[in-house]
């Protein structure tokens, strides 16, 4: 009897459950069901992705943490994009992969580029300082990969290098060739980057070039060893003509594409991490240093008095420069002592009065300066304290203005090219400024331009992390949507940037 009752009850419950929809149960408990979102299918719009070729420099190659290595290349933005393009007709995507995850390059067994940087939680460190000696196995003399390569990003390339024959010829090293491009030219060592790109007959391309035309000037502190590529001049000399020649070549057979402009490089952590007032002193040391600078400070006043009396400078201008150049240390934080070639040259009056001054908050220091500031040259000569830092370690306001002028001019050229050829445009300049000021939130992850902890920039302070490249990939897809009526964003095909790493393990091989 009991068995019969239980059987009937079970049957009734099963019958009841089969008649009740999940929505009804949720409503009965005052829980609203989550809405089912249906996204449209991904469409190709007016672009054709069957043969995608990415052209550019280190930012295109996937360069990260001061090196090129397999894991970073696999997270390059072109490789990420190619995976999305494959969903709507995109073909295979080949990269000139290195041979290991150490990074670095060798030439006939001799190291010519260093392995990657790593971190164990705070500051960037060399890989070998953490894991011990490694053997760089990517040797451009003996084991280069076979192309053609869809990723034509060449670390270190400037705009005019894309047109230069012999830039990948090993016999032209070191002055006229690039070791990374040597790996890519195969049996056509004198072919240019653009030549090898066009041989693949791309239907779609990305182009991000011009950064190094300015960056090499900046990373050398504007010390005249590297110049900003002039805006005007013929192709191969002037940025305008060179860039337009590249665009003409890439679009000559009807290819569509996306191009990126040049960010304000002075906002990247390579130039914003080292503080201008990095000198910490106690009162006794400050007093001792001030005694040493008494004659120098007095000489500055005497020199400008002479210039004023000779009507070579106004008293107002003299007062400004005297204030700039006077060295006076205090207990606590102090500005770094630097050379400044834009100061009035006083050595003809007194050879001891070199053009040095304490830094201000308007000066920017390159990241490697952190390892130089405060180091001893001799018992009494300390870099940045009793001896000024060389020009190569600092960007003065005048040098920053030269960078700003070139950046604006380059970006005008790029914007005009995008409009004229109906190309999608990634406004990298605006994105970087936003990263540097407020940070950018995507998929509940906020990335900033802070070194090590910001998530966007890798340990060299210049190139992006994998997460940064994923973010750029999303922005490129949005730009493509706007121009070619694709729907990467609307079809929910943007990337979750949180699934991409910000740092690679030191043990990664």
What mean pLDDT do residues 150-172 have? 98
Q: Domains (ranges, CATH) in the chain?
A: 52-272+398-499 (3.40.50.1110), 279-396 (no CATH)
Tens of pLDDT, residues 461-474: 999 999 999 999 99
Tens of pLDDT, residues 62-75: 999 999 999 999 99
Confidence of residue 23 (pLDDT cuts 50, 70, 90): very low
pLDDT at 13 exceeding the cut of 80: no
pLDDT at 25 exceeding the cut of 50: no
- Which of helix, strand or coil describes residue 156? coil
Nearest to 174 by CA among 101, 97, 128, 105: 105
Residue with the two structure tokens 């009065």? 353
> What whole-number distance in Å separates Cα of residue 203 and Cα of residue 111?
38
What mean pLDDT do residues 234-247 have? 96
Distances (CA, A) of 124 to 45, 96, 181, 453: 44, 27, 27, 11
**What number of other Cβ atoms are within 10 A of residue 454's Cβ?**
19
pLDDT at 404 exceeding the cut of 60: yes
pLDDT at 5 exceeding the cut of 60: no
Tens of pLDDT, residues 241-284: 999 999 999 999 999 999 999 999 999 999 999 999 999 999 99
Can you list the pairs that 307-311 forms with residues at least 24 positions away whose Cβ atoms lie under 8 Å? 307/344, 307/349
- For Cα atoms 407, 409, 412, give the angle at the middle one, nearest 5 degrees: 105
Task: Share the mean pLDDT of the chain.
Answer: 93
Percentage of the chain modeled with pLDDT above 90:
90
CB 54, CB 206: distance < 8 Å: yes
Orientation of helix 397-421 relative to helix 211-219, angle to 10°: 170
Tens of pLDDT, residues 102-145: 999 999 999 999 999 999 988 999 999 999 999 999 999 999 99
Percentage of the chain modeled with pLDDT above 70:
93
- DSSP code for 424: E
pLDDT at 4 exceeding the cut of 80: no
For the chain, the first-to-last Cα distance in angstroms comes to 71
Residue with the two structure tokens 């190309």? 423
> What whole-number distance in Å separates Cα of residue 277 and Cα of residue 187?
53
> What whole-number distance in Å separates Cα of residue 77 and Cα of residue 55?
12
pLDDT at 24 exceeding the cut of 50: no
pLDDT at 469: 98
Confidence of residue 224 (pLDDT cuts 50, 70, 90): confident
In this prediction the pTM is 0.90
Kindly report the three-state secondary structure assignment for every residue of 233-278.
Answer: CCCCCCHHHHHHHHHHHHCCCCCEEEEECCCCHHHCHHHHCECCCC
CB 476, CB 52: distance < 8 Å: no
Max CA pair span of the chain: 124
pLDDT at 16 exceeding the cut of 80: no
């Amino acid at each position: 009897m009991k068995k019969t009752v239980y059987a009937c009850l079970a049957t009734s419950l099963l019958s009841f459950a089969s008649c009740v929809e999940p929505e009804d149960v949720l409503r009965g408990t005052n829980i609203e069901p989550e809405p089912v979102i249906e996204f449209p299918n991904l469409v190709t719009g007016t672009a054709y992705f069957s043969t995608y070729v990415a052209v550019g420099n280190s930012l295109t190659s996937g360069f990260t943490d001061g090196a090129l290595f397999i894991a970073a290349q696999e997270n390059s933005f072109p490789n990420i994009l190619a995976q999305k393009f494959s969903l709507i007709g995109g073909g295979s995507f080949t990269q000139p992969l290195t041979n290991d995850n150490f990074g670095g390059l060798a030439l006939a067994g001799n190291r010519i580029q260093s392995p990657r940087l790593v971190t164990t939680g705070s500051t960037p460190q060399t890989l070998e300082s953490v894991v011990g000696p490694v053997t760089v196995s990517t040797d451009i003399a003996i084991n280069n990969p076979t192309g053609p390569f869809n990723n034509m990003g060449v670390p270190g390339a400037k705009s005019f290098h894309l047109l230069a024959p012999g830039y990948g010829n090993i016999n032209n090293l070191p002055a006229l060739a690039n070791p990374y491009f040597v790996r890519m030219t195969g049996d056509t060592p004198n072919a240019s980057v653009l030549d090898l790109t066009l041989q693949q007959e791309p239907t779609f391309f990305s182009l991000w070039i011009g950064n190094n035309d300015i960056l090499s000037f900046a990373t050398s502190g504007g010390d005249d060893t590297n110049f900003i590529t002039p805006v005007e001049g013929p192709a191969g000399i002037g940025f305008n003509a060179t860039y337009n020649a590249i665009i003409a070549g890439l679009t000559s057979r009807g290819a569509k594409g996306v191009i990126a402009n040049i960010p304000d490089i002075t906002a990247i952590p390579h130039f914003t991490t080292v503080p201008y007032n990095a000198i910490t002193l106690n009162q006794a040391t400050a007093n001792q240093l001030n005694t040493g600078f008494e004659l120098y400070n007095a000489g500055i006043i005497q020199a400008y008095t002479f210039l004023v009396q000779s009507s070579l400078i106004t008293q107002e201008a003299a007062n400004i420069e005297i204030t700039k150049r006077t060295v006076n240390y205090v207990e606590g934080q102090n500005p770094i002592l630097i050379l400044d070639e834009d100061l009035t040259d006083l050595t003809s009056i007194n050879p001891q009065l070199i053009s040095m001054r304490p830094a201000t908050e308007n000066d920017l220091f390159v990241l490697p300066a952190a390892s130089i500031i405060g180091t001893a040259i001799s018992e009494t000569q300390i870099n940045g304290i009793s001896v000024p830092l060389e020009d190569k370690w600092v960007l003065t306001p005048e040098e920053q203005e030269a960078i700003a002028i070139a950046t604006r001019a380059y970006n005008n050229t790029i914007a005009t090219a995008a409009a004229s050829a109906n190309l999608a445009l990634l406004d990298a300049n605006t994105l970087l400024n936003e990263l540097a000021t407020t940070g950018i939130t995507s998929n509940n992850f906020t990335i900033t331009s802070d070194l090590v902890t910001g998530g966007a920039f890798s340990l060299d302070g210049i190139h992006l992390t994998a997460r940064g490249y994923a973010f750029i990939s999303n922005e490129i897809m949005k730009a493509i949507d706007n121009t070619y009526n694709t729907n990467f964003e609307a079809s929910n095909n943007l990337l979750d940037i949180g699934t991409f790493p910000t740092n690679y393990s030191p043990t990664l091989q």
